[in-house]
Amino acid sequence: MIRYARKRMRTTDDGDEALLRVADMTGFAEHFPAEGVALAFNTINTIRHLPDDEDFLAHFGEMARVLRPDGIYVVGISLSAYELEEPSEDVWRGARGRCEVRQVVQYLPADRQGRMEQVLSHLAITRPGGVETRDDSYGLRAFNRKQWRALVRRSPLSIVEVTSDRGEAMQDHDGNYFLYVLRRAD
């Protein structure tokens, strides 16, 4: 992905080139200037790949070190409504030239004790030479509204806005996806 992004990268309006790096979410600040990032984003539940609260807090600490005083960090996260959620499924399709990709993703809800949503992924890649399949499963850390807000309060960041995926101001509640706009708490 980084190689693709670098090929497509252009300079910003002010002539600066964006920094593209591969790093762990809990140890990336060394790759960026301190207080040098104006905007960072982590959407579509990617942050939920961190397995426990300690890793989330380490991640938030890294973000606080790289964000400018007026910088913002946008986190997209689905909040769990434990015991009310049903298993669900998404189907994604895409094509480029003679390559087609179809992904079926199944989500098995978390419970309040284990707090891990189980994800099962089946990927089918169709090319002129045949079909290749890839199967994977992994867990995503689950939070309800109260757990998420409590974790952010323990971090060096604070919530300044909650929006829908379209940027409309919202009141967050369990069972939905939101974008949280975070800033350094200092």
pLDDT, one tens digit per residue, over 126-161 is 999 999 999 999 999 999 999 999 999 999 999 999
Report whether 45 contacts 141 (CB < 8 A).
Answer: no
For residue 16, pLDDT beyond 70: no
Phi, then psi, of 62 in degrees rounded to 5: -60, -45
Report whether 28 contacts 3 (CB < 8 A).
Answer: no
Query: Mean pLDDT throughout 116-133?
Result: 98
Say how far apart CA 186 and CA 180 lie, in whole Å: 18
Looking at residue 8, what is its pLDDT? 78
Q: What is the pLDDT of residues 40-64, one digit of tens each?
A: 999 999 999 999 999 999 999 999 9
Q: How confident is the model at residue 6 (pLDDT cuts 50, 70, 90)?
A: confident
Task: Provide the residue type at 148 as one letter.
Answer: W
Say whether 7 sits in a helix, a strand or coil.
Answer: helix
Burial grade of 4 (CB within 10 A; 0-12, 13-18, 19 or more): exposed
Query: Mean pLDDT throughout 96-115?
Result: 97
What's 176's DSSP letter? S
Rounded mean pLDDT of the chain? 94
Say how far apart CA 98 and CA 14 lie, in whole Å: 38
Looking at residue 45, what is its pLDDT? 97
Say how far apart CA 57 and CA 24 lie, in whole Å: 13
